[in-house]
Structure 1
C-alpha cells in the first residue's frame, strides 16, 4: 500500500454528490455509475442528481441514492431549478459537489455560491470534453478544482480557460478491471449471439463500438470495411451502439450507405448492448475512427484490457491511451486505406498489449478522492 492509499484508508467517510444531465448510455454516465459504486464500496455515501434514465436502476442497486431533478435542459427555463436545487443541497449537507456537464454546472454553481461559505460543500468539475470556448462553457472552470480526463483535455483547458495549472488534476477515466479482464468462458454467450446473428459465426470479427454519431466514425468504418474485405474476405464488421433519441434517422443513413457499398453481407449493426465486454473478447480487432479529437476514447483502454488489439487514428485522447498500451495500433488520421492495412496486419500477429495502471478504475478513484480530501484539508481526520 502506497502513501496515498494509506492516508485514504485512514480518512473519514465523505458524502459525495455527483450531478449530470441524465443517466442513459454514454461514457460520462457509465463513469459516474462506476465511480458511485466504488464510493459505496469504500464506505462513502454516494448521491447522484440527474433527470433520470435507464442506468438509475443499476445505480440504486449498487448502493447509491438517486435524486431526480430536471437539470438537463439547455434553456433559460432551467434557471427555475436553482432555488429547489439550493434547498436540496442544504438538506443533503454534502462534503463534495462534483459536476460533470455544463447545464448542471451552471445550476449547481448558481445554487452553491449563495450557500454559507463556511459550511458549503467543496465544488469540483470534470472536463469530459473540449468544450466550445465561450461564456457558457466557462462555467466548468469556475469550480474550486478541475479534473481533466486526458492530457489533450488538460492542454485545452490551459490554452483556452486561463486556469492555473495548480487548479487542474489529470485523472484518466478508469475502467473496471473485473468487467473487462480476459478470463472466464463466453461459449454460452457466443452461441446465443450466433443464433441471433448467424452471419457472424465462423468469421473474423472487426468491432466498431460507440454511440451512432457523425463524428464517431461509423461512416469511415464502412469505407474501411470495403478495403478490408478485399484483403481479408473472412472479416465481418460488427457495429455496436445506437443513435441518441430523436436521431434514429442517422442509423438509416448508415444502413443505406452499407447497402450502397455492397456490405450487407459483411457488416452487422447490433444496436445498444449491455454485453460490450464479451464483444471485445470475441473480436479480433477493435476500431476507433472518430473524425475529430476525442477527449478520451473509452473504447480503446476497454478493448486493450480485454486483450483485444485496437487500431485508431493518431489524435486526441484515443491516441494517448493507445500510445500507452498498444502503439502499433496507431494510424495517420483519416487514412482509411492505411487503417484497413493495419487491421489486416494485426490479424493473427503476436500482439503485445500492456495497459498502464492509471487507466484502471481503482487508480481513478484514488486520484479523485485525493482531490476531494485536498480541497477539504482533512485527509487524515
Structure 2
C-alpha cells in the first residue's frame, strides 16, 4: 500500500492516524510532494511528518521542486528525496500569464509523476496546500483516492477563490485545514463536503531552553530591549508595517532595538532589496537589523523580549506563533489571527 502526500505541513502523528483510518491493517509507502525546499514553517512540519511516518514503519518519499536545506534535513533523517519541478501555484502567478506559466511547468511534471505513481503503486494521493494542483488531477486520472490539506486563506482575486473551491470540492475525498479560521473561510465556498481541522504541531522541547545569542551577534548589550519578527518577506507578512511600528516606538523609546528575519521566494528578491533600502534611506540601520533567512529560530526567539506578528492579511496558522509561545513569549488575540 502506498500513499502520496503532496505539499507541506501536517503533524506526523495526525497523518499516521488519518492513514490508519483509511487502511488500518497495511503499512504504506508515502509519496510527499513539497512546495518549497527551505526550512520555513511548512517545511519544518514536512520533515516532522516524514520522520514520524518513518518511525511508524511507513516509507516516506519526498519530491521537491529544487534542492535546498530541507533536502539536507531529510537526508539526515534517512528519507528519500527526488527533485521534480511541480509547478507550484503562488500568489505572484495569480494572473493570466502566470497561470499559463504554471500549466507549462505542470505539464512537464505530469509524465514523471505518472510514472512514479505507477511504479510505486500509489493508492492514495494527499495534496498539501492549494499551491499544489497537479495532485488533484493525477488522482482523478489514476482513479485513486485524493485527500487535500488546505493551509491558505485566499480572498482575492475572487475568481481564483471560486476556481480553487470548485477544484477542492470536486477532486477531494477528504478535506483537511490547519485552523478554525481556514475552515470558516472555505466553508463559505465548499458546502457539499465536510472539512476537518487538524492543527500543525512542533517539538516544543527545543524552544526556551537556553539564552539566545542574537544580541551578542548584533553587538547589542544584554540589557537592550529587542523586538523582532520572523517570516517570509512579502507584501502581506507586514515587514513595512513592522518598520512603521518601530519608528513610532523609537520616537518615545530611542534605545529600543528591532530585528527582522526572513527572505523572499526565489524571483521576489526585489522585495528584500526594497526592505533593506528603506531601512538605510530612513537612517534606521542602528535600530533595525535585517538578518535575512535563518534556521536557528529557537536562538532568535530566546533572544527577543517581544515577538511581533505584523501580518496585514488573515494569517491561516503561522508556525512561528507556536514557536514563539513555546519560547514563553507573551501573546494576545489579534484580528489577523483568531484561533480559539
C-alpha separation in 2, matches of 1:98 and 1:295: 20
Contact 1:15-1:95 at 8 Å conserved across structures: no
Three-state SS of the structure 1 residue aligned to 2:132 is: helix
User: Which of the numbers 248, 253, 270 marks the counterpart of 1:227?
Assistant: 248
**CA shift for structure 1 position 79:** 1.9
Contact 2:256-2:287 at 8 Å conserved across structures: yes
Contact 1:126-1:140 at 8 Å conserved across structures: no
- After the TM superposition, which of the residue ranges 289-298 and 194-203 deviates more from structure 2? 194-203
- 1:237-285 deviation line (CA, Å, top 9, x unaligned): 1101112222222222222322444422111011111101111111111
Three-state SS of the structure 2 residue aligned to 1:154 is: helix
Contact 1:86-1:112 at 8 Å conserved across structures: no
Scaled by the length of structure 1, the TM-score of the pair is: 0.72
C-alpha separation in 1, matches of 2:131 and 2:318: 23
User: Which of the numbers 315, 319, 322 marks the counterpart of 2:338?
Assistant: 319
**CA shift for structure 1 position 160:** 1.4
Match for residue 58 of structure 1? 73
- 1:3-60 deviation line (CA, Å, top 9, x unaligned): x98x969864332222233322433222222211221122221122221331112112
Q: Which sections of structure 2, spanning at least 5 residues, go unmatched? A: 1-15, 89-100, 155-159
Match for residue 122 of structure 2? 94
Alignment pair present for 1:151 and 2:180: yes
Match for residue 329 of structure 1? none
Number of aligned residues: 302
Distance 1:197 1:311, change over 3 A: farther
Match for residue 376 of structure 1? none
Alignment pair present for 1:292 and 2:313: yes
User: Which of the numbers 122, 127, 150 marks the counterpart of 2:150?
Assistant: 127
| Structure possessing the higher radius of gyration over alpha carbons | 1
Give runs of ≥4 in structure 1 deviating > 4 Å. 7-12
Contact 1:37-1:62 at 8 Å conserved across structures: yes
Question: Counterparts in 2 of 1:270-285, with a 5 A limit?
Answer: 270-285=291-306
Alignment pair present for 1:264 and 2:285: yes
What is the CA RMSD across the aligned residues, in angstroms? 2.7
Greater share of residues in helix: 1
- 1:339-366 deviation line (CA, Å, top 9, x unaligned): xxxxxxxxxxxxxxxxxxxxxxxxxxxx
Q: Which sections of structure 1, spanning at least 5 residues, go unmatched? A: 325-381
**CA shift for structure 1 position 90:** 1.5
**CA shift for structure 1 position 309:** 1.8
User: Which of the numbers 61, 67, 85 marks the counterpart of 1:70?
Assistant: 85
C-alpha separation in 1, matches of 2:284 and 2:192: 48
Distance 1:128 1:103, change over 3 A: closer
Alignment pair present for 1:172 and 2:199: yes
